[in-house]
């Protein structure tokens, strides 16, 4: 399916989809934390205004967002890969991988010096995807973590093959 979905940058018409897609998995696996409500309610302020990006995977006719991911800029070229979500019926079709690779490309285009993510050990399919793209485990929680649910901290290392852990 991902061959027919296309990845686009933020447009206000997809704002509700950014929230909808993320709230689905947050409510399924965890609770929606105050930081989630802030970011999902106003991505322009909490992601885009600081030099971050929000990407969307659209269905084949471009009428609906079926996945999303964001890069939040912490400053000094440090970016967090965050708010990655794919509609439940689209999981396992390659859309998550397409979004992840597009986010890494966007990070490179922004001249970033560090790309990290925080996740949960409950989300094993997502962790395998991140590992396959070159993210390696680091001690968790990350210093200054925003999320109570985060017991996984990973950093992207270009050239690290799946299964190798530089921690």
Which pLDDT score is estimated for 154? Answer: 97
Structure tokens at 146: 């925003």
Whether 72 is covered by a domain: the verdict is: yes
Q: Please tell me the predicted confidence (pLDDT) of residue 1.
A: 40
What is the reported pLDDT for 66? 97
Looking at residue 42, its pLDDT comes to: 95
For residue 164, the model assigns a pLDDT of: 41
Count up the domains in the chain and report the number. 1
Residue indicated by tokens 């010096």: 113
The pLDDT value recorded for residue 162 is: 54
- CATH (domain of 101): 3.40.630.30
Residue 161 lies in a domain: no
CA atoms within 13 A on the CB side of 60: 5
In a domain, 23, yes or no: yes
Q: Does residue 165 lie within any of the structural domains?
A: no
In a domain, 82, yes or no: yes
pLDDT in tens, the chain (167 residues): 445 579 999 999 999 999 999 999 999 999 999 999 999 999 999 999 999 999 999 998 888 999 999 999 999 999 999 999 999 999 999 999 999 999 999 999 999 999 999 999 999 999 999 999 999 999 988 888 888 889 999 999 988 755 444 43
Question: Which positions ≥6 away from 124 have C-beta within 8 Å?
Answer: none
In a domain, 163, yes or no: no
Task: Output the six-digit token pair for 32.
Answer: 């929606």
24 within a domain of the structure (yes/no)? yes
């Amino acid at each position: 399916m991902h061959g027919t979905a296309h990845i686009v940058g933020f447009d206000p018409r997809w704002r509700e989809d950014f929230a909808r897609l993320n709230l689905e998995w947050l409510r399924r696996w965890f609770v929606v934390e105050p930081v989630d409500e802030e970011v999902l309610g106003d991505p322009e302020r909490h992601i885009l205004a600081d030099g971050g990006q929000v990407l969307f995977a659209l269905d084949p006719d471009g009428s609906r967002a079926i996945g999303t991911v964001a890069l939040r800029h912490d400053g000094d070229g440090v970016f967090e890969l965050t708010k990655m979500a794919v509609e439940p019926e689209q999981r396992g079709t390659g859309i998550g991988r397409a979004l992840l690779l597009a986010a890494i490309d966007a990070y490179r285009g922004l001249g970033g010096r560090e790309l990290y993510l925080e996740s949960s050990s409950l989300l094993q399919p997502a962790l395998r995807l991140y590992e396959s793209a070159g993210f390696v485990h680091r001690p968790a929680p990350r210093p200054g973590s925003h999320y109570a649910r985060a017991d996984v901290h990973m950093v992207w290392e270009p050239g690290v093959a799946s299964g190798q852990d530089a921690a």
